[in-house]
Chains A and B, each alone.
Chain A
Amino acid sequence: MFRQLSAMLIGVLLATPVFAQDTIRIATEGAYPPFNFIDASGEVKGFDVEIANALCEEMDANCELVTQNWDGIIPGLIAGRYDAIIASMSITPERQEAVSFSEPYYSNKLQFIAPGDSDFGPGDAAGSAIGAQRATIAAQWLEENVPDADIRLYDTQENAYLDLESGRLDAVLADVYVSYEWLDSDEGAAYEFKGDPVYNDDKIAVAVRKDDQVLAERFSEAIEAIRADGTYQAINGNYFPFDIY
């Protein structure tokens, strides 16, 4: 009996990997609309999620999506909790020391937003209370370029907007497309972009562990493929009336 059972168990263990597609666990944040957010039914949605699914289909991989707090998302990748991050992550030299990136899947800019009736401009940042999300390039840009500003760091982008509404902040520095979505909402109606983008060269890519070059390559090829066959453009059209690639 025991022998039969163990033989069966061994059989199962041996058989499983042969039939399984390779599984890639992908982390996203879930608090960064319209790129990744959790809807009323608890499902993760957004541009990043649709891109992740399209890439997985292209790579013929079986993907599991998990959500993870933003400021723990790189440590979680390094610790092996998941294999890739598709969460609107910008390529920065600091991050490149910790992780590897695929080719970019969209480009971004940083721009200030403030109440429509305020005369705030990027030049006024130094003496003002400016909000940004912790561990983002917006936070880093503020720390490097206007260290004299009263920089407040939030766990999520949504909390930074909340504090702009309450009047605790004079302005928020964030990704233009994220702000675009919020300015379009009821809460954001009284706010607007101020001045030109302060940073233009922001490339967003899939992050993988540093020694996982092969996976980064696969993502890069898949990005190229969904650009070529129009899948990307269809997803883009669901969110923005202009190409963000």
Chain B
Amino acid sequence: MNWQVMIDSFPALAEGALITLELVVISGILGVLLAVPMAMARVSPRPWLRALPLAHIYFFRGTPLLVQIYLVYYGLGQFEAVRDSVLWPYLREAYWCAIIAFTLNTSAYTAEILRGAIQSVPRGEVEAAETVGMSPALIWRRIRLPRAFRIALPAYSNEVILMLKGSALASTITLMDLTGVARTIIARTYTPVELFLAAGLLYVVLAFLILGGFRLVERRLNRHLQPG
């Protein structure tokens, strides 16, 4: 075991970990913004509205993340029309391609988590709100969504952890995330065990931070359930 190479590469790995964290946080936030309307459509009584997000959810849950990243990065770049469009300044950057792929992917999973949560909001609470004359929009805002977020939180923290690990695939499209940095250093030093061990430890730290953040949010959201 070559400890020196682990110590020497730590600053570069830490920089990579920052990129990884950025990818997860940005696409996580964008993913939730996309997932909320999709989940609301999925529980609609109107069949056509329910069907709308279905294709999106099926495609992104049914195909590997690596394939999705390749389609966004190498696939879109093949078309002249895409290269001439106003979006190209973004799409030519591996960073934004990764954000787009991760956002679309996580939004599909999150939408399904949220759909389940919305459906398990106790019927009586919604009925009570109807009885006091709340409008459907107000019921969504005050009762169904806040309750659903609380119910979904533990399952959603799982999804974020899975996304953290999935983000390692960003290294396949030239991004210098934690895995990308590790692989580039290994290419020079041929010490895969040391570098992957160090990268693995940093992933554990990131996962720990994310879970800690969720625990804080959970405690705040459920503070009415706490003793005292």
Chain A residues packing against B (C-beta within 8 Å): 71-72, 74-75, 78, 94-95, 97-98, 131, 134-135, 139-140, 152-155, 159, 162-163, 165-168
| Complex Cα gap A135–B184 (Å) | 7
Q: Please give the distance in Å from A103's CB to the nearest CB on chain B.
A: 22
Q: Please give the distance in Å from A3's CB to the nearest CB on chain B.
A: 46
Cβ A159 vs Cβ B74 within 8 A: yes
Cβ B74 vs Cβ A78 within 8 A: no
| Complex Cα gap A95–B189 (Å) | 9
Interface-centre pick from B74, B189, B190 (highest chain A CB count, 10 A): B190
Q: A94-B188, A153-B180, A159-B74 are in contact. List 7 more A-B contacts (CB 8 A).
A: A72-B192, A94-B189, A134-B184, A140-B187, A163-B77, A166-B74, A168-B92
Query: Quick one: which of A95, A154, A167 contacts B92, CB cutoff 8 A?
Result: A167
**B141 adjacent to chain A (CB < 8 Å):** no
* B170-209 contacts to A (CB < 8 Å): 172, 174, 180, 183-184, 186-190, 192
Cβ B183 vs Cβ A98 within 8 A: no
Q: Please give the distance in Å from B196's CB to the nearest CB on chain A.
A: 10
Interface-centre pick from B78, B83, B174, B192 (highest chain A CB count, 10 A): B174
Chain B residues packing against A (C-beta within 8 Å): 74, 77-78, 83, 92, 94, 172, 174, 180, 183-184, 186-190, 192
Complex contacts, B187 vs chain A, CB 8 Å: 71, 134-135, 139-140
Cβ B190 vs Cβ A74 within 8 A: yes
Query: Quick one: which of A131, A140, A159, A163 contacts B188, CB cutoff 8 A?
Result: A140
Cβ A134 vs Cβ B74 within 8 A: no
Cβ A153 vs Cβ B184 within 8 A: yes
Interface residues of chain B: helix, strand, loop or mixed (majority)? helix
| Complex Cα gap A131–B78 (Å) | 17
Complex contacts, B180 vs chain A, CB 8 Å: 153
Cβ A168 vs Cβ B184 within 8 A: no
Query: Quick one: which of B83, B174, B188, B192 contacts A166, CB cutoff 8 A?
Result: B83
Cβ A166 vs Cβ B77 within 8 A: yes
Cβ B78 vs Cβ A166 within 8 A: yes
Given contacts A135-B187, A155-B172, A75 and B192 within 8 Å (CB-CB): yes
Complex contacts, A152 vs chain B, CB 8 Å: 94, 174
| Complex Cα gap A201–B222 (Å) | 67
| Complex Cα gap A72–B182 (Å) | 12
Given contacts A75-B190, A94-B188, A168-B92, A134 and B77 within 8 Å (CB-CB): no
| Complex Cα gap A74–B172 (Å) | 19
Q: Please give the distance in Å from A102's CB to the nearest CB on chain B.
A: 19
Q: Please give the distance in Å from A176's CB to the nearest CB on chain B.
A: 21
| Complex Cα gap A140–B189 (Å) | 12
Complex contacts, B183 vs chain A, CB 8 Å: 71, 134-135
Complex contacts, A154 vs chain B, CB 8 Å: 174
Cβ A167 vs Cβ B188 within 8 A: no
Cβ B78 vs Cβ A153 within 8 A: no
Query: Quick one: which of A94, A139, A162 contacts B77, CB cutoff 8 A?
Result: A162
Complex contacts, B92 vs chain A, CB 8 Å: 166-168
